[in-house]
Amino acid sequence: MKYKEWLNEWLEFYVKPSTKERTYRKYRLSAEKYILPALGEKDVDELSAVELQKFSASLIERGLSASTVNGVLFVLKSSLRKAVALGIAHRQFTDAIVRPKAREKKVACFAKDEQRKIERYVLTHNTPYLFGIVLSLYTGLRIGELLALTWEDIDFQKGTMTVSKSCFDSWEEGHYKKVFDTTKTQSSERVIPLPKQIVGELKRLKKQTGSRFIVAAKSEYGAQIRAYQRSFERVLKKLRIERKGFHSLRHTFATRALEVGMDVRTLSEILGHKNPTITLKRYAHSLLEHKTEMMNRVGRLFGI
């Protein structure tokens, strides 16, 4: 059986029914862009360890990042493992592939004075469209979660926000489509208690907009992700703040939360992480100031 035949079958009948729509599209893109052109015509049982290692090396030579290469190899490995499990292939050699090591991205966040500038700009300009920036600064929402929020997700009486869905931009046959999906992981579904100040701002915002989405736009489906990212970039440019991605708002929230003494378990649940270990590992740098203070307290015992 040709690998291209099996890979398409695996994507349609094993991946698509059991994963998020965005995951399926991501796997299919990896298959069509990288795997099929190089290995599609091979027989499933012809994919030797040497052949697969050469393929991996070719991806690196093309200048792809380690995370992209590992994502492509994950699709390759998963499809071949299923082929062996079903008896379509006798064995697979993906465990022998030497993978590139992906470096964990440095967490970028805004300094306190930069955060104040951003908040002041959004609030003084009184533009409902931009309030999502402030909301992300005080809840740690991912941009897909933010732009999927509707007023039904806000409980003003309890002062909480329910995060149960996400969205992403898609173009099908040249036409834009905003796709709504479940959250990134099951643990990403969460209820976030909102600061009283944010609840008050949301009440005012609801009176200003007639949209069902908290981040209102001309489209009935709310704001586009890329368009909102560009709007955020323009705000930073006007304020002469170094350009950072929208996700830096999430990192900034986590850093400020730790600085004011929020415990890691609580922060982990608010961010929607699977467990506190992930949170602690990702934001350990944010605790340096706190560690220094604690060590100085210990140091006061010196000479007693």
Give the whole-number percent of the chain exceeding pLDDT 90.
Answer: 67
133 near 152, Cβ under 8 Å?
Answer: no
Mean pLDDT of all residues in the chain? 91
CATH number at residue 218: 1.10.443.10
Distance CA 193, CA 196 (A): 9
Beta bridge partners of 171: 176
The 10s digit of each residue's pLDDT in 215-265 is: 988 877 789 999 999 999 999 999 999 999 999 999 999 999 988 889 999
Confidence of residue 291 (pLDDT cuts 50, 70, 90): confident
Residues 130 and 261 occupy one common structural domain: yes
Distance CA 199, CA 214 (A): 12
Q: What 8-state DSSP symbol labels residue 45?
A: G
Confidence of residue 110 (pLDDT cuts 50, 70, 90): very high
Residues 7 and 89 occupy one common structural domain: yes
The 10s digit of each residue's pLDDT in 42-65 is: 999 889 999 999 999 999 999 998
Taking the alpha carbons at both ends of the chain, their separation in whole angstroms is: 78
Residues 90 and 133 occupy one common structural domain: no
The 10s digit of each residue's pLDDT in 69-96 is: 999 999 999 999 999 999 999 988 998 8
Confidence of residue 170 (pLDDT cuts 50, 70, 90): confident
Residues 130 and 263 occupy one common structural domain: yes
Out of 72, 96, 120, a domain closes at 96
Distance CA 90, CA 111 (A): 56
- Which residues constitute the domain of residue 10? 3-96
Tally of structural domains, the chain: 2
- Give pLDDT, residue 304: 64
- What lies within 8 Å, CB to CB, of 91 at 6+ separation is 84
pTM higher than the cut 0.75: yes
Confidence of residue 181 (pLDDT cuts 50, 70, 90): confident
Any idea which of 3-12, 155-164, 253-262 has the lowest mean pLDDT?
253-262
Residue 134 has pLDDT above 70, yes or no: yes
Distance CA 135, CA 213 (A): 13
Token representation of residue 96: 């022998």
104 is a domain residue? no
Residues 268 and 174 occupy one common structural domain: yes
Residue 19 has pLDDT above 80, yes or no: yes
- Give pLDDT, residue 104: 66
Residues 139 and 285 occupy one common structural domain: yes
Residue 68 has pLDDT above 70, yes or no: yes
Give the whole-number percent of the chain exceeding pLDDT 70.
Answer: 97
What angle is formed at CA 102 by the lines to CA 250 and CA 9, rounded to 5 degrees? Answer: 95
- Give pLDDT, residue 69: 94
Any idea which of 110-124, 256-270, 277-291 has the lowest mean pLDDT?
277-291
Pick the closest to residue 44 from 1, 14, 5 (CA basis): 1
Out of 67, 96, 125, a domain closes at 96
User: 69 to each of 221, 238, 267, how far by Cα in Å?
Assistant: 34, 36, 31
47 near 92, Cβ under 8 Å?
Answer: yes
Confidence of residue 294 (pLDDT cuts 50, 70, 90): confident
Distance CA 205, CA 131 (A): 8
Out of 64, 96, 128, a domain closes at 96
